[in-house]
Amino acid sequence: MRRSVLVGFLSAAVGFSGSVLADQAGSTAAKKPPAQASSKSPSKTVLPAAVEASFKKAYPNATIKHISSEKENGVVLYEIESVDGTQPRDLVYKADGTLVEYEEAIAASAVPEPVMAALNSRYPKATVTKAEKFFKDGSMTYELALKGAKISEVTLTPEGKWISPK
């Protein structure tokens, strides 16, 4: 699931097009209903009312780009790929509207100082080429893509504790 969230997130970040701006600038009659999103497959995923309400409350100005669902450990989860202005964001909800995880791009300057200090200590010549904030199971991590280091990606807690590589 996390890989699909990351792939979806990257797709949203790279694939941001003028159609999003057209959707946001167009009339509400021209927009797709937020509870559904078309996909290349013939079936459509419909969001439960609780998921839609939670999403709209948290991100009232966001545009839903894609909705999908999958069963994980016997629980149906709903993934929403969205754009809020120019901010792509992927969210995963349980059917009752509980947020399970989210991932969003952030500026390297928004990465907490303890994370940057740990990174600079271990990889002093590295530069951050992409930064993402990832929340799952009640905890936040920062995933950083690097240039100029022997490793291309690292994950740390907000306090600067290493998740990967160890």
CATH number, domain at 98? 3.10.450
CA count, 13 A, side-chain hemisphere, 8: 24
The Cα–Cα gap between 108 and 127 comes to 9
Q: Are 132 and 75 in a shared domain?
A: no
Q: Are 83 and 47 in a shared domain?
A: yes
Structural domain that includes position 144: 108-164
pLDDT given at position 17: 34
Last residue of a domain, one of 63, 79, 103: 103
The Cα–Cα gap between 83 and 78 comes to 16
Q: Are 131 and 99 in a shared domain?
A: no
Q: Are 94 and 119 in a shared domain?
A: no
| pLDDT in single tens digits along all 166 residues of the chain | 444 444 443 343 433 333 333 333 333 333 334 444 433 333 478 999 999 999 999 999 999 999 999 999 999 999 999 999 999 999 999 999 999 999 999 999 999 999 999 999 999 999 999 999 999 988 999 999 999 999 999 999 999 999 999 8
Q: Are 98 and 123 in a shared domain?
A: no
State the total domains in the chain: 2
pTM of the model: 0.66
The Cα–Cα gap between 76 and 148 comes to 41
Determine the longest span between alpha carbons in the chain, in angstroms. 54
Picking from 112, 127, 122, 156, the residue whose alpha carbon sits closest to that of residue 164 is 156
